[in-house]
Chains A and B, each alone.
Chain A
Amino acid sequence: MKIENYYDRIDQYHAGELSDSDSKSFEQELNNNEELRRAEELYRLSLQVLDFGAEENLRKDLKKWNSESSSVSTGGRIVSLRHRSLQILSAAAAVLLLIFAVRSFLMPQASTDELFASYYKTPSQTGWRGNADAQNALTSAKKALAEESYADAVDGFSEIAQTDPLYVEAQYYLGHALVGLNNLNAAKKAFETVANSEDKFQEKGEWNYLLVCMKTKQWNVECEAKLKNIAADEGYSFYPEAKELLKKMK
């Protein structure tokens, strides 16, 4: 059988490129022409083979995206994202310059996600404080956070009472768990609590609060001022990052 004799018509038929009358005559011929019927069957089966290949590719993409997000959560993607986003950020910076001239507090729509991903880091484990029950609850919740069981982590961190010495720390981690769940408004509130405290987590809370404001497009004059203050304070934990971020935003 010479499949090539039929290929173009079969291809056009499947792509819906034949006119109504041509389609009908093709279907009639399918009933009467054994070779055409066989060629059309081969065409259909070959499409299924290709579909399988496309699914395998999607499976690979999903695994790749998963490992990318895993490395973001361990901090490993920060550097690679910076490299990859360099061109995007350069372009965004140019656009931002123009926007800032009109509204100094307005954040760019296109680059906030990339900027957030570049600077946002999930927390590392820290020392222990507080009473034994709260400490246990905090430890379990931190474990859940490390395992990316964000809903469990949120439940655990939320258990720590406001009167407990661990409350601010729990709010800090709660913010990260909520970021994991993409509940950014609640995360912002948790980080804000930490930012307004005098706890050792205050600077971390404030920095993450600013990142979430940026991500949620809730950037305002106050955020701008806070970022400038951090970028001017060499003793602040996030001084280099703030300076760099401010530069990119301008």
Chain B
Amino acid sequence: MNAITYTNESLVAAIKKGGSVRQIAIRWLYDDKELQQRVVSFVKNNRGNQEDGTDMFHEGIIVLDRNIREDKFRGEAPVKGYLYSICRFLWMNQMRKQERISLVDPIKPAQEEPDFETPEVAFRSEERKGLLSHLLDQLGDQCRKVLEMWKLSYSMAEIADTLQLSSEANARKIKYRCHMALMEYLDKNPRMLEQLKDVL
């Protein structure tokens, strides 16, 4: 719902920059209904339904965001083509888990394909999800919000403003206190730490 448009480069740069700039870029990507429809059509042509297709589009955006932030996207293909490839892979992977099927895809992407075997595009396991959720639950609501915004490169001023903290300095103090608390919790729970290393 905005007049911003992106080139491949500016889209990648915006996601890497983080903060509200990333959020706007992701929203722009999400608003591409034609792309979403392509993903949904692929899923529907391969034993899925509308909801499955929408879910794959969402998961694809999450993986794309992560790959860009972690410099795993090499930029050799258009971002949208790469996103479509990720969504295809995610659905194929899900289908393979259920049964071996021959997939029908009218659109053969000639773009950069995600590596099917790499963990960065694999669905998170339930075990991983449970453990990570448990760890996040150890943080209070405020701690969690501050740290998650900080991790996404929001500035301390943006964090203070969004979470209505008294000042930028206060946001920095809270970030320090909360991050320390999370690290100390891991330090004091060696079994959980080992489990974490296993699932990551």
Contacts of B26 in A (CB 8 A): 58, 61
Q: Is residue B148 contacting chain A, with contact meaning CB distance below 8 A? A: yes
User: Chain B interface secondary structure, helix, strand, loop or mixed?
Assistant: helix
A113 touches B182 (CB 8 A): no
A45 touches B186 (CB 8 A): yes
Complex: A152 Cα to B32 Cα, angstroms? 17
Q: Is residue A198 contacting chain B, with contact meaning CB distance below 8 A? A: no
Complex: A52 Cα to B62 Cα, angstroms? 10
Complex: A36 Cα to B144 Cα, angstroms? 25
Contacts of A90 in B (CB 8 A): none
A43 touches B183 (CB 8 A): yes
What 0/1 pattern do residues 52 to 79 of A give for CB contact below 8 A with B? 1111111101110110000000000000
B62 touches A58 (CB 8 A): yes
Interface residues of B in 18-49 (CB under 8 A from A): 23, 26-27, 30, 32-34, 37-38, 40-41, 44
B30 touches A39 (CB 8 A): no
Q: Is residue A47 contacting chain B, with contact meaning CB distance below 8 A? A: yes
Selected from B33, B65, B66, B180, the residue in CB contact (under 8 A) with A180 is B33
B180 touches A3 (CB 8 A): yes
Q: Write the chain B residue with the least CB distance to A112.
A: B3
Q: Give the number of chain B interface residues (Cβ < 8 Å).
A: 46
A182 touches B33 (CB 8 A): yes
Selected from A38, A42, A50, A66, the residue in CB contact (under 8 A) with B58 is A66
Selected from A3, A63, A117, the residue in CB contact (under 8 A) with B187 is A3
Q: Is residue A159 contacting chain B, with contact meaning CB distance below 8 A? A: no
Q: Is residue B169 contacting chain A, with contact meaning CB distance below 8 A? A: no
Complex: A66 Cα to B148 Cα, angstroms? 22
Q: Write the chain B residue with the least CB distance to A85.
A: B1
Complex: A110 Cα to B4 Cα, angstroms? 10
A7 in contact with B176 given A45-B196, A50-B148, A62-B30 (CB within 8 Å):
yes
What 0/1 pattern do residues 79 to 114 of B give for CB contact below 8 A with A? 000000000000000000000000000000000000
Complex: A52 Cα to B134 Cα, angstroms? 11
Selected from A1, A3, A59, A149, the residue in CB contact (under 8 A) with B40 is A149
Interface residues of A in 20-43 (CB under 8 A from B): 38-39, 42-43
Interface residues of B in 37-80 (CB under 8 A from A): 37-38, 40-41, 44, 50, 54, 58, 61-62, 65-66
Q: Is residue B147 contacting chain A, with contact meaning CB distance below 8 A? A: yes
Please report B residues at the A interface, Cβ cutoff 8 Å.
1-3, 23, 26-27, 30, 32-34, 37-38, 40-41, 44, 50, 54, 58, 61-62, 65-66, 124, 129, 132-133, 135-136, 144, 147-148, 150-152, 176, 179-180, 182-184, 186-187, 193, 196-197, 200
What are 17 A-B residue pairs whose CB atoms fall within 8 Å in the complex?
A3-B184, A39-B183, A42-B187, A45-B186, A47-B151, A48-B200, A51-B151, A53-B136, A53-B148, A58-B62, A59-B58, A113-B1, A113-B3, A114-B1, A151-B37, A181-B33, A182-B34
Given contacts A49-B132, A53-B132, A181-B37, list 9 more A-B pairs with CB under 8 A: A45-B200, A52-B129, A53-B136, A55-B65, A55-B66, A62-B58, A66-B54, A113-B2, A113-B3
